[in-house]
Amino acid sequence: MSLIESVQLWRKKQGYEGKGGVVVVFDNVVQGWVKKLRNPDHWQPGCIAVDESGNTWIAVGGDEPNGATLWMPGDSATWTGTR
C-alpha cells in the first residue's frame, strides 16, 4: 500500500474525510492531523504531510530536537510508504 493510500485509509477510519488539512506521517506512522500546514519546527525533519488531494510536503532542515526549518513540496508519485 502506498503512503497516499495509507493516509486515505487513516482519514476514513478516524473521521477526517472531507475536513481538509493534512495528515503528517513519520517512518510510516501517522503522527496526527492539522488543519493547516505550518510550524515546521513542531515536526522532525523527514515528516511527510499529505492533503486530501494527495499533495505532499516533506519537513526538511533543522534537527530532531529543534524541529525542521521548512516544508518543501514533495513528489507524491514517488512515495511508496517509506521515507
For the chain, percent of residues with pLDDT exceeding 70? 90
* Digit-coded pLDDT (tens) for 27-60: 999 999 999 999 999 999 999 999 999 999 999 9
Runs of H (alpha helix) within 1-83: 3-14
Residue-wise burial string across 50-77, b where 16 or more C-beta atoms lie within 10 A, e elsewhere: bebeeebbbbeebeeeebbeebeebebe
Residue 83, pLDDT score: 41
* Digit-coded pLDDT (tens) for 6-34: 999 999 999 999 999 999 999 999 999 99
Asked if 31 contacts 25 with a C-beta cutoff of 8 angstroms, the reply is yes
Is the full-model pTM beyond 0.85?
A: yes
